[in-house]
Structure 1
Amino acid sequence: MSAVICGSLAYDTIMVFQDQFKNHILPDKVHILNVSFLVPKMRREFGGCAGNIAYNLKLLGGDPLPMATVGQDFGPYREHLERHGIRLEGVRVFEDQFTPQCFITTDLDNNQLTAFHPGAMSCSHHNHVGDVPNVEFGIVAPDGREAMLQHSADFAARGVPFIFDPGQAMPLFTGEEFRTMIGQADYVIVNDYESQLLQSRTGWDAEEIARHTKAYIVTLGPRGSLIHTGGAVIEIPPARERQVVDPTGCGDAYRAGLIHGIMRGYDWPTIGRMASLMGALKVEHPGTQNQHFTYAQFAAEFEEQFGYALG
């Protein structure tokens, strides 16, 4: 069963400053700030929400089709996705652009300075959900503003069930636009902070948002998640991780578990636990696409943690 994953494909360049930013920034001189940090540690990871969700969904045995726009430097990322059997018919290359890139510098207090170059993502509205045959499910994850509006409308027009995931794109939309996309979507997912923002922007509380969807999912980090559905709130416990190495991409892994569980027709308590476990398995590894396991291993871990088997 195919799932179209609308969102970004990006390179994440992560650097570590072996000191504290505060030791090198004069508070009374920030208006003329001019600093340079030596970063002896650096790594480059494959990222972007579409890539992360697709990678994790593939681990579960799904058939993800990322829909994204990339640039002239996409070659290494293409090879990585092809090596893991992820289809690329929905990826469009713009040779006069760069692939979206995020540059993150972290100090020893885990403070971060981040710069994001959208590159080819600014052209993402040139991709159309309507051009993809045999779509059974979809997700509209953070992407260009026009693309997110367009993809939501296109999924709804085709009658394809989909998840609306505003995430980092929260500042891009008006309250009316949010209300429209929520009404078009079958499911909405946000974290607890984003949930407060979404309620503020729409003027709807969590119960009202849930009434416009089949389920409103709110993730709570290490405290698990809540699924508002059918007039009830289902509490999902967090899965246990063996170690916390890197939480980056945990939310995208959760979304992959959510998609897989919905498409397989599981009940909401099971869907939520599958998603929770996917997030826990991710944080045990650095980067967003470096964890490896089979579905059989996932199912065995699920039974061990939650006390029952996946049917």
Structure 2
Amino acid sequence: MRIAVTGSIATDHLMVYPGRFTEQLIPDQLDKVSLSFLADTLEIRRGGVAANIAFGMGRLGLRPVLLGAAGADFAEYGQWLSANGADTDSVYISESLHTARFVCTTDADQNQIATFYAGAMAEAREIDLAPVARRVGGIDLVVVAPNDPAAMLRHTDECRATGLPFAADPSQQLARLGAEETRRLVDGARFLFTNEYEAALLQERTGWTAAEVLARMGTWVTTLGENGVVITEAGGAELRVPAVPTGDIKDPTGVGDAFRAGFLAGVVWQQPYERAAQLGCALATLVLESVGTQEYKPAWTDLLARIEEAYGTQAAEEIAPHLPDPSTAGGAS
């Protein structure tokens, strides 16, 4: 099974503010906020939703096709992704714009304030899926992750027109999308990924109830932070999978992307959704314990030990045969 991951490719500038944002907000002055936070640290990391998902899948031994737009400054980043298992040959390179930038500050409560500069991502609407599918010998699932909104709609429409299965992952772009646009992104999806807040926002945007959303697509995967994930299908019972516990939280950036990478790997391996979600939760915890979205170097023995502790021996035994090498981390360093 070959998966193409469309979406943002970016460089992350991650800062940590030791205080709490909420302590600086004056309730009756919120109509004219002007705040500056003195950060203690700055980390410049590789990121972007599609790149993060492709990286995670590559670390798990797969070869996802990365589809997105980047600038001429992408060369080194592209080499890194390729060395870690992603197919980057179809990344669109802009002749005039830089690769997108994500600037994020995290406070002591893990709240975040972020700004995203699209840059070359605005040209992702020029990408056509058909030539890419021909190049790689066919695509079985297209992940439509946060991207230039016109690109997201184009990819979704092309999938529907050609009968190509797709996963809708509108995420933070829901804030930019209108009702009809959001409906177009969801309608007919094999998978829908949201977090708990985005699930409510998606219903507000579409005007559909949860049941009406489910009637128009396949499987709805909603991440719940420290409470794990819930997987819902139309007319079916909910499947709830708890998170993998951790006492070493460093940075929440990219946790959802890592979950998607693990879950999609489980889908490729034809694992039941419970196992796919368990792998996704375990990979997400590794990112939560790292600074940066692609800095984790999983040792599979440790990953399996976490899965066994959280979900039992059978879960670890069923996931283990699919990992690239149970004794090494794999990928580039």
Aligned partner of 1:310 in structure 2 is 318
* CA deviation after TM superposition for structure 1 residue 174, in Å: 2.4
Q: How does 1:143-292 map to 2 (within 5 A)?
A: 143-232=147-236, 233-241=238-246, 243-292=248-297
Paired residue secondary structure (2:85): coil
Contact 1:65 1:86 in 2 (8 A): yes
Change (3 A) 1:110 1:303: closer
Aligned partner of 2:132 in structure 1 is 132
Identity level (%): 31
- Matches of 1:246 and 1:22, distance apart in 2: 18
Change (3 A) 1:18 1:174: closer
* CA deviation after TM superposition for structure 1 residue 42, in Å: 1.5
Aligned partner of 2:330 in structure 1 is none
- Matches of 2:72 and 2:15, distance apart in 1: 23
Segment of structure 1 superposing worse, 260-269 or 115-124: 260-269
- After superposition, the C-alpha distances for 1:69-105 in whole angstroms (9 at most, x for unaligned) are 0112223312321332322112111131010001224
* CA deviation after TM superposition for structure 1 residue 240, in Å: 2.3
Segment of structure 1 superposing worse, 203-212 or 213-222: 203-212
Change (3 A) 1:36 1:191: closer
- Matches of 1:283 and 1:77, distance apart in 2: 22
* CA deviation after TM superposition for structure 1 residue 179, in Å: 2.3
* CA deviation after TM superposition for structure 1 residue 43, in Å: 1.3
Segment of structure 1 superposing worse, 293-302 or 233-242: 293-302
Segment of structure 1 superposing worse, 208-217 or 239-248: 239-248
Aligned partner of 2:104 in structure 1 is 104
Q: CA RMSD, aligned part only?
A: 2.6
Letter in structure 2 aligned against 1:128: D
Contact 1:59 1:295 in 2 (8 A): no
Segment of structure 1 superposing worse, 201-210 or 123-132: 201-210
* CA deviation after TM superposition for structure 1 residue 295, in Å: 5.4
- Matches of 1:206 and 1:190, distance apart in 2: 12
- Matches of 1:274 and 1:106, distance apart in 2: 26
Contact 2:9 2:99 in 1 (8 A): yes
Aligned partner of 1:60 in structure 2 is 60
- Matches of 2:53 and 2:214, distance apart in 1: 23
Contact 2:13 2:104 in 1 (8 A): yes
Segment of structure 1 superposing worse, 2-11 or 262-271: 262-271
Contact 1:299 1:310 in 2 (8 A): no
- Matches of 2:244 and 2:30, distance apart in 1: 45
Segment of structure 1 superposing worse, 268-277 or 114-123: 268-277
Aligned partner of 1:119 in structure 2 is 119
How many residue pairs get aligned? The number is: 310
- Matches of 1:220 and 1:160, distance apart in 2: 29
* CA deviation after TM superposition for structure 1 residue 14, in Å: 1.7
TM-score by length of 1: 0.89
- Matches of 2:33 and 2:192, distance apart in 1: 42
Aligned partner of 1:14 in structure 2 is 14
- Matches of 1:51 and 1:298, distance apart in 2: 22
Structure 1 residues not aligned, in runs of 5+: none
Structure 2 residues not aligned, in runs of 5+: 320-333
* CA deviation after TM superposition for structure 1 residue 299, in Å: 4.4
* CA deviation after TM superposition for structure 1 residue 215, in Å: 0.6
Letter in structure 1 aligned against 2:169: D
- Matches of 1:198 and 1:24, distance apart in 2: 30
- Matches of 1:270 and 1:23, distance apart in 2: 41
Contact 2:43 2:292 in 1 (8 A): no
Paired residue secondary structure (1:74): helix
Letter in structure 2 aligned against 1:214: G
